[in-house]
């Protein structure tokens, strides 16, 4: 008897569909299954529908997951594919991130219309970004430029750039690679001076924690080093109560059985920032992230976080 296909939930953007298709292709290859064994189910989320306001004004990261997680929880979906940086640190009861694909390049890509690099932009240039982290980092490095909120799918932002709405924008290098748009990049920003968002470049797969069949399906495509890095970064984010309302950067790297973490928190105007570093055994990834987040929170002081409200 033919089994029902696994139902994979995803948002409908070209990038989200590319990530769901990549996940399906990896599962097909490792298990020797046909494409018909999987059904990609496209769902619209509030974050996709509301594009005229900053995410910080309408609810944060959960805006991109709520509708998908509802169907995952009640069994209409078997798994969901997400960009890790979009995932809240607290998930609905019974759900978890059970697998991570090998991470892509974590760096931010600069796409300039009037200059090829951030440092080359003329004074009073306009840079568009939807990310509070990118906005704060731009202001930190170039306080003379104007930064505006710039939402929409990748194609929409590139069109607005071509139309001269802004002089430049920034997008994740990983997303541009997955969409085949690397030719638009004019510079790649160093991950030390312009650190990425926690989870940037990594595709994660969410499933019900009591679903042993799906867990067994996903186990062969899980990338252990990416999983360890994301455990560290998400623990750091959780210690800082991070969401789309907060400028937080964090990046963990793995070398053998060791993990190194670098994080940064900033005020939205980019004038004040605090860095944190931690290293240790990969088995302690989550604890290291929590310690780094707790330490920098205490060092910054409660007044620092008032500007995030």
User: Active-site positions?
Assistant: 86
Question: What span, in angstroms and rounded, lies between the C-alpha atoms of 248 and 229?
Answer: 16
Question: What span, in angstroms and rounded, lies between the C-alpha atoms of 285 and 278?
Answer: 10
Number of H helices, E strands in the chain: 10, 13
């Amino acid at each position: 008897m033919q089994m029902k296909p696994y139902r994979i939930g995803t948002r409908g953007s070209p990038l989200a569909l590319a990530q769901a298709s990549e996940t399906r292709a990896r599962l097909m290859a490792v298990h020797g299954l046909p494409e018909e064994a999987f059904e990609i189910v496209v769902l619209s989320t509030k974050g996709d529908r509301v594009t005229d306001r900053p995410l910080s004004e309408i609810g944060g990261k959960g805006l991109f997951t709520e509708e998908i997680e509802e169907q995952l929880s009640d069994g209409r979906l078997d798994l969901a594919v997400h960009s890790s940086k979009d995932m809240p640190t607290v998930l609905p009861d019974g759900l978890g991130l059970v697998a991570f694909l090998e991470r892509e390049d974590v760096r931010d890509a600069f796409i300039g219309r009037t200059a090829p690099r951030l440092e080359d932009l003329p004074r009073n240039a306009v840079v568009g970004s939807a990310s509070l982290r990118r906005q704060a980092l731009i202001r930190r490095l170039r306080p003379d430029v104007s930064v505006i909120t710039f939402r929409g799918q990748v194609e929409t932002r590139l069109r607005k750039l071509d139309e001269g709405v802004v002089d430049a924008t920034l997008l994740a290098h990983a997303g541009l690679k997955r969409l085949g748009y690397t030719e638009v990049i004019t510079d790649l920003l160093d991950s030390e001076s312009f650190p990425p968002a926690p989870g940037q470049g990594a595709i994660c797969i969410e499933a019900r924690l009591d679903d042993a069949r799906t867990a067994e399906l996903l186990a062969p495509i899980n990338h252990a080093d990416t999983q360890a890095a994301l455990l560290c970064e998400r623990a750091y984010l959780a210690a800082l109560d991070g969401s789309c309302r907060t400028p937080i950067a964090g990046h963990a790297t793995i070398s053998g059985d060791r993990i190194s973490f670098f994080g940064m928190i900033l005020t939205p105007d980019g004038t004040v920032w605090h860095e944190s570093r931690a290293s240790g055994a990969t088995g302690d990834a989550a604890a290291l992230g929590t310690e780094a987040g707790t330490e920098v929170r205490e060092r910054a002081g409660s007044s620092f976080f008032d500007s995030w409200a």
